[in-house]
Each structure stands twice: as structure tokens, then as C-alpha cells.
Structure 1
């Protein structure tokens, strides 16, 4: 029956249903450009891109988990811990900055593996396992730093700068990580396994997919991407701050959902997540330009997230 319904729909409506996030972004940009003369300035657009970078990188990692039918609430804390570990090993421990930089993604991957172990083999719900990791990672960041910011090595702090006047390095890193995420999801066996597990875990297991191993890969990737986001954020701040990225996990999940992924798993793509992160950044930037209170901004963002989940729910009902 759903096939007959789809057959009667116009090509335009089908395109809008599949690219709702992009259409929303275009409408948002047009509206804000009419409401504020400063919105389309080069300086402001670069500012929007930089603001989106950390959220987008975190969200790319969260996309893997959500596509596989899971959730990761620990990415913000893992980002802070990874950056703190980098800064501490390069300063207090005296490790060369090149080696210290490798410590950061290693920490992120280990956190992801612990999450996956608790979920796949400890049979903890993803919400509980990653909630626990959120507290553990944040606590370790505070212990390592003694609650104080740690200066980043000068070479690493350049990550927060620009190449020339118009090419912010955080945006370059965001694009690279987005391409990596797209390739993993669309061109690799682990990526295909994520869709299979998210669509129907038992069917994936019966088809020969080693679900436990694939969950290890999925959450390890999420932790690794969180570590890269932590380095970018610390580069922008020129220091690793143990309380950094607090609440970013919610923005990351929101970007994935706004971008068209389904919280029930089996659906999602890196490009959609990128657009979702841009929508959040554009919305916040536009509201600031319009002098909207920060309190009301939270209300608006919450409404947008609720609408995105509602659209996903209605879309899934329509295909059943």
C-alpha cells in the first residue's frame, strides 16, 4: 500500500520528503538574510561555519551509533577528556606534541570500546552505558587537570586558526571528517553492518554479521570522532578545559536527527548530519543577530528538535 501512495506522489513531494533538512536550511538562510543585512556577510558566514565545526564532527561520530540503533551520550565528555589528556601529556608529562596528539584519539577510541563492551557484552542499555561514561570521562578530565584549564601545545593550538583570511582550519577538519564518515557509511562493510544492525539486529545476526564486533567498531569510531572534535575545540580555546563541550552531546544527537536520521536505527547519512549541524549553527547565529534572548533561543532549538523527531515518527508510520 505504501508503494501505491509513493507512486501517486509528485517528484517534488518525494524530493522534499527525502531532503527536508536541506529545504529547511535554504528557507532558514533566505529568511535570515531578509531579516538581517549582516547575515550574508563573508565574516558572518565564516563564523557560522566555525561554530558548526565541533558540533558537526561530534555528530558525524554520533551518526554511526544512531544508524546502528544506539545512542551515545558521552561524546561531549569524551571530547573534553581527550583534549585534556593531550594537553597534560604534552605539558606535565613532557611528551613531544606529535606523540601527545596521538594520545587524544586513543583515549576517545578506548572510551568508545568501553561503551560498546558494556552494551554488547554487558547487555546494558546504550542510554545507561553511555550516561555512565559521560560521568566517568568528565570526572577523569577534572582529576587530570585538577579542575583547571591546561594550555595546549602551540603547534596544536593552530588548529583553531585560519589559513589566510578566509579558510578556518576547524572548517577544513570538519569537511575531512565528514568525507571520512560518508565513506565509512557508504563504502565499507562496517558501514553496511551499521545499517543492518539498526534496521533489525536479530536479522543482522542471523545473516552472519558479528553484531558484538561491529558495535565495538561503531562506538570506537564515535569516540575517535569525539576526540578530534575535542582537539578542534581546544585549539579554538587555546587550552584544554575539563568542563568544555558540556551539553554538546545533545547538539550532536539533534544534528543527526534534524539531518534525517531515525532514532530507531537503520537510517541516516553524513551529508544529512552536516546539514543538521549547519541548521543549528545558522539558527543560533541568526537569533543572535536578531537580538533574541538566549533563554528564548533554547526554546526555539527545543521546538526544532521536537519537530524533527515528529517528522521522523510520521515518516516511519507512513512506510509501515
Structure 2
């Protein structure tokens, strides 16, 4: 991350301190402005789907929705930290596939569950350290770096699995299909992860430093924030959460599928930006991300209950991403947070296009 270049100094850096204070003060209303429309959309869509099919409003269906979006939600939580800190990781979908394939392969080789879980999480730490060090110390653009990781991890997953799923029998069954006091365990994991990570983001010094880093990197550095260490920590946190999501995906599929994570990076960016996170950095909330994930799950479930062909769900994902990015860009232009040409948005669009070509 560049800290001594004028191009990295946002409009907020050049404002007087009194103006910055006035702009930062209404943070809670900004969260509400994001959360209320998302909550309203969830309620309206749920009521309509329930009117068409009463099963939609049952407790079992809502637990199933939360279980279905558990992997997406954990990935989105890590991406929320990154985007608020002014970073992005486009390799999460491929890393989920690689972790799942590696775990299934090691289970087949006779490894214990504890050894496989520990090895996968350690691998997540290593990937995060590499990404973070390259971005923080060598100033490699995270868009290009993680886009290369997307292709690398996807290829490794295919090579290890021999281009076909590896069955997993007798391992991680509780994590994928277990219940606790009558509630699906993946749903509990999702809510618990969101709450704990939300507390870490909004109520700790680390979280405040992440907001400062994304809002004004140079000002944060001059104020004594360890910007490089924070950047590395963000990538490590995100990669560890991605590894955990890969294990949950393996548990739910009962197999390590080298193509299980295909397209997840698009969904993660879509729900995170839909939840109010700004691609320019410095803005976002875990509550907004959680509601964005739930809305995505409700939309997918509603399409299924209304017997809409599955091919249209990809259209919904793309539409959500376009809508969320457009709304965020308009909000950023109104507040003067990014220049009118929106360079970060252009880089993101180009990276996603190249990622789609690589997957083809």
C-alpha cells in the first residue's frame, strides 16, 4: 500500500479537521440508511414468497436459508474487513475449492480430522501472509495479485482432485448437518461468526485502525497507525476465514469439489457492497454485510420456491453486483470520497472480466 503518494490521499485528507469531524459524526445514521432498506427488502420478499408458498415462512426454511449462505457469509465477513481497509481479495472462491479438495484428499489418506483442520487453517495463514506482505511491502496491486491467485488455486484444485470430486465419508458430518438445541449448526456458525467479527470491527482499536486505513492511508500512517501490519493482518484474517469456509463447504457437500467455489468471489463482492461497504475504503458495517448475505439467500430461496429456472439465479447475482456498485459509486461521488473517474471501480470491473475469462 502506497502511503507517500498524493494519489492515495483522498478528499477527506485535504479537508480541515472540523469538516472531517462533521462528516464522520453521523456514522450510525449511515449504517441505518443501509440496514433499513435491506431489512425492508427481506421482509417484503419473504411475505410475498410466503403468500405464494406458506412453507417459506417456516422456521425450518429460515434455518435452511442461513445454512445455505453460511459459506458466503463467512467469506463476506472477511471481505468486509478488507474492503473497509481499502483492499480486495478475488481469490477466495478458488481458495475455498482448494481447501476442500486438499481436506478430502488428506481424509482419504487417513489423516485425522484435527490434523486436517489444523493444516487447512495454517495454509490460510500462510496465504494471507504472502498476500499481505506483497501488498504492504512491495506495493503490488491486490486486484492483480489475487486475480492471479484465483487462477493458481483453481488449477491446483483441479490437479489434486484429478478434475473430479473426492468423496468425504465419516468426517465433518456434524459441521455440515448437525444441530444444536434444534437449530442447524451452519446457521449457528454463521450468526456467531458475524457477531464476533462485528464486535471486533466496531468495538476494538484494530477495527478503528481498519476504518482509518481505508479512509485516509497517509493520514493514518502519520497518526501512528501501523498501516503495513494492519494490511497484513487483514489478509491473514480473510484467508483464515476462507479456509474455514472451505471446510464448511466440504462438510455440506460431503466431498471436495474442485469447482465448488467457482463464482463465489462475485457473490462475495456483491453482498458486501450491497451491505454498504465502499470500494474506495473506509465505509461499511458487519450488520450491513449480514443483511446483504441474508437478502441474497432469501432471493435464491424465493426463486426456488417460485419455480424460477436455476439459470436465472446468475442473472440475479450479476444484477445485485451492478446495482450495488452503481449505488456505492453515486454515494461516493456525492460525498467527494473518490474522483469522478472512479479508478478503483474501473480496476475492479477489469479484474472481474479477466477472472471470468480465466474460468472459461
> 1:30, 1:319 → 2: CA distance?
35
Q: Does structure 1 conserve the Cα–Cα contact (< 8 Å) formed by 2:84 and 2:283?
A: yes
Residues 1:205 and 2:221 are matched in the alignment: yes
Alignment of 1:48-87 (within 5 A): 48-87=65-104
Unaligned 5+ segments in structure 1 are 6-10
**Structure 1 residues 14-93: aligned runs within 5 Å:** 15-16=32-33, 19-92=36-109
Q: TM-score, normalised by structure 2?
A: 0.80
Separation (CA, whole Å) in 2 of partners of 1:46 and 1:17: 24
CA contact (8 A) 1:197 1:266 kept: yes
Note if contact 2:127-2:239 (Cα within 8 Å) is conserved in structure 1: yes
Contact 1:190/1:217, CA 8 A, preserved across alignment: no
- Partner secondary structure for residue 224 of structure 2: coil
Distance 1:282 1:268 in 2: 21
Match of 1:123 in 2: 139
Q: State the match for 2:243 in structure 1.
A: 227
CA distance in 2, matches of 1:2, 1:101: 45
- Greater CA drift, 145-154 or 107-116: 145-154
- Once the two structures are superposed, residues 67-117 of structure 1 have per-residue CA deviations (whole angstroms, 9 ceiling, x without a partner) of 11111111111112222222333332x332212111111112222222212
TM (norm. structure 1) is 0.89
Alpha-carbon RMSD = 2.8
**Aligned match of 1:8:** none
- Separation in 2, partners of 1:14, 1:189: 19
The answer to whether structure 1 residue 172 and structure 2 residue 188 are counterparts is yes
Q: Separation in 2 of the partners of 1:91 and 1:297? A: 34
Partner of 1:217: 233
Q: Aligned partners of 2:157 and 2:71: how far apart in 1?
A: 18
Distance of aligned partners of 1:35 and 1:88 in 2 relative to their CA distance in 1, 3 Å threshold: same
Find the counterpart in structure 1 of residue 354 from structure 2: none
> Which residue number corresponds to residue 288 of structure 1?
304
Shift of the 145–27 alpha-carbon distance from structure 1 to 2, 3 Å rule, reads same
Measured against aligned partners, the alpha-carbon deviations of 1:264-284 in whole angstroms (never above 9, x if no partner) come to: 111112121111111111111
Contact 2:105 2:166 in 1 (8 A): yes
For 1:192 and 1:72, locate their aligned partners in 2 and report how far apart those are by CA, in whole Å.
21
Deviation sequence 1:268-319 (CA, Å, 0-9, x none): 1212111111111111111121122333333233223322223223333333
CA displacement at 1:202 relative to structure 2: 1.2
Could you tell which deviates more after superposition, 74-83 or 187-196? Answer: 187-196
Gaps of 5+ in 2: 1-18, 337-360
